[in-house]
Amino acid sequence: MPRRRDVDSQRELLSQAVWSVLAEHGLNGLTVRAVAERAGCSTGLVMHAFAGKRELLVHARHLLHERAARSADAAEAAEADPAAKLRAVLRQAACLTPAKREDARVWLAFLAAAAGDEELAAVHREHHRVLVRRLERLVGEAVPDLPRAQRGVRARSLAALVEGLNCLAAVDPATYPARAQGAALDDAVRAATA
């Protein structure tokens, strides 16, 4: 029986391989063979951990959710002012750096697959709604007298903006550079907290 540490290190190696294949080659390039080649292992090892492409995609989406949650927690904790917290969380969700652009490419590939697959769409909705709830809470902290329904409207608008910018910047960073994305988010935060 393999030691737990070996299993964990294999899982981490496969996770990195799934992530990098999806980020570099998109949905069409994500295959068991490509992941095995990137990880430097057999397809059998990949198939032992993941039954197929759907499982690879779900794993990548869970990784993205975990990474985003850690970044959002850190961004929120670094600010004291409620509007600044909201701005920081949105900026960490945006693809303002090459690493975040890679995250956006992984997210976009998953979303493309989820558009035609209800099981994948359910995974996306679950993780997306975590972001919306966080934004709704932060809008409420920044504008405490705002009715709950309006907090939800503003939170969904902010989520749509950042995720729309991510889609566009992932494939056209020249038109949507970091400064343009940041300016759009800053304007949206000012409007949402007015």
Taking the domains of the chain in order of start, what are their residue ranges?
1-51, 53-192
CA–CA distance, 143 with 150 (Å, rounded to integer)? 10
53-192 and 1-51 share a CATH fold: no
Say if residue 2's pLDDT is above 60.
Answer: no
CA–CA distance, 66 with 69 (Å, rounded to integer)? 5
| Res 50: pLDDT | 81
Say if residue 133's pLDDT is above 90.
Answer: yes
Q: For residue range 166-180, what is the model confidence (pLDDT) as tens digits?
A: 999 999 999 999 999
Helices 148-171 and 82-93, packing angle to 10 deg: 30
CATH topology of domain 53-192: Tetracycline Repressor; domain 2 (1.10.357)
- Mean pLDDT confidence for 10-16: 81
Q: For residue range 41-77, what is the model confidence (pLDDT) as tens digits?
A: 888 888 888 888 888 888 888 888 898 999 999 999 9
Q: Which CATH superfamily is domain 1-51 in?
A: Homeodomain-like (1.10.10.60)
